[in-house]
Amino acid sequence: MSARDTRQRILTVAREAFGRGGYEATSVRSIAARAGVDQALVHRYFGTKQQLFLASLELPVDPEVVLAPVVSAPRDRLGETFIRTLLNLWDSDAEPIVLSVVRTLSASPEGAELVKGFLLHLALVHLGPRVDDPEGSAPARLSLVASQTMGLLMVRKVVRLEPLASMPVEDVVALVAPTLQHYMTGELASSAGAPRPPDHA
């Protein structure tokens, strides 16, 4: 088997394994065993587990690079910077591949696991420390951000519901950014964020 065939086999096995078991429960060791190769070979081809996961999704961009401006944005402009960055990506030359990946990943339970792993461990993971106030509220905040952005992607680019489908980017930013900003930094219901300490009379 050629190196190219071996690499593709690892990717195929990795995609199936991540889809079946989720990101956290799937180890590089188990992927190597299923692919019939040494674990060191997997690391040589793909680097870290995160890089292997990203490669298995066949995304045209690296989320860490795309979202770098968001991670470094002023805290009071996180929502605006985040949604503008995504909209510009969706409207770029990468759009057909992004949409193909979204359709593929959302077509089955295994695909749903891949979407969840992508959101939690690649796309949003670096935002966690920026929005974890009060401490422990980041998971709820990021879940809300994911629901808003995935819904927007589906309506704007897959369903293509007008007028949202053809609305200029800056108009969408103006409408959506305040909601995302609230999810990221605003006050959440006590049941959605970190537990609040009891009041003392």
- pLDDT tens digits, the chain, 201 residues: what are they? 688 888 889 988 988 887 777 777 788 999 999 999 999 999 999 888 878 887 877 766 677 777 888 888 999 999 999 999 889 888 887 777 677 667 766 666 666 666 777 776 667 778 888 999 999 999 999 999 988 988 898 899 888 999 999 999 999 999 999 999 999 999 998 656 554 444 444
Looking at residue 52, its amino acid is: L
Closest CA to 146 of 53, 76, 63: 63
Query: Residue 186: its pLDDT value, please?
Result: 95
The two three-digit tokens of residue 131, written as one number: 């929005």
Query: Residue 105: its pLDDT value, please?
Result: 63
Residue 124 phi/psi, 5-degree rounding, is -110, -5
pLDDT in tens, 147-189: 898 889 889 988 899 999 999 999 999 999 999 999 999 999 8
HEC string of the chain equals: CCHHHHHHHHHHHHHHHHHHHCCCCCCHHHHHHHHCCCHHHHHHHHCCHHHHHHHHHCCCCCHHHHCHHHHCCCHHHHHHHHHHHHHHHHCCCCHHHHHHHHHHHCCCHHHHHHHHHHHHHHHCHHHHHHHCCCCCCHHHHHHHHHHHHHHHHHHHHHHCCCCHHHCCHHHHHHHHHHHHHHHHHCCCCCCCCCCCCCCCC
